[in-house]
Structure 1
């Protein structure tokens, strides 16, 4: 379970057929996905995790997140506002951090840090330095011209439905490849009319850029204009010209 309780502690919510002393195990990717989900769906959580101290029933509670602003390990590149430290015998010292860097939300995960509890903060700082020194965020709205062999007009432009942000390692190129969806393509893989402006007809794939699922980053593309289908006489004329 995502809480970290043993199966027996989950009571009626425990998994059937699983030992009562079984505990949750997650990879760093799993933890990052969970953190991403929490921040996206419960953003007010950060109002709590960014606090360095608070008073509950007359008792002052102080954070152990040493990377929050004003704390001993606060980084200069990123403004940290969360998220969670943790320690267990199997996982060691762990830290899921999040903060903003150049206007972008970043999540890092460090598991099983050795060398004491503060090592998780040291390794997290190393990750942020790596981002600052070797990666650049590009906010773009890519577009590509394509042919529409059976359209009234034989070309159109495909673009994303809005601007996208891609993190690129410095010195590498962003070279997306286009694939038209099977329902929007002819037998040769070309875009086929009719198509509507804003209709998802394919996707761009960025080889070398991987998401949390381990797959190459893909983004949907749509036509910027309507393209009606040419009448049969126009299409026959084009076919004749192409075979002369």
Structure 2
């Protein structure tokens, strides 16, 4: 029997007179990769911020692993088993890459520095971090920053990984490289992944299911193939490009 790891129940969020998320509900099964897409301003990042505790919803509930985590602070959400990446990576720029990952391990797993550095090296290898683990994070190119962001999130040993537009800033040849890492994270660590993107071609080869948002509302839920031909998706999203 498939188990539900995350339930989003009737979540709403306003910013003044703007409704960013409007009575949104969906479920994610354990070990699933699900994509959320929609045009700019659809409410995608707001949703991630609500799940991760960075924003408080005006209504609704977030249920993770059967527990109501609505309104918890971000560090409490992390401890429950939810990690995330950001569209604009946020490493400690003056620390080395391996130190960035080690700090996450020390925080998330209470590792000693020696053990954390050893495990950090293994995680960097897993995400296919190129070289220069001892250079400062502030010196990295875009794809290396994305890999470091994934490594830092993995270091927290999440059960659910929230991924915010990881393809942003990458070239067409670099995007498949990070998608390959996400697939390995899902398959080898059995981590559930919720990824938001506004480019559907990024999601087609990765996710089993897509939810499309428009102006904070869910207008579609189904397979990537179904999304491409859905009239509502075409009108709300593709018609803008």
Q: Please, what TM-score do these two structures have when normalized by structure 1?
A: 0.24
The structure where helix makes up a greater share of residues is: 2
The structure where strand makes up a greater share of residues is: 1
| Greater RCO (CA < 8 Å, at least 6 residues apart) | 2
Q: Which has the larger radius of gyration?
A: 1
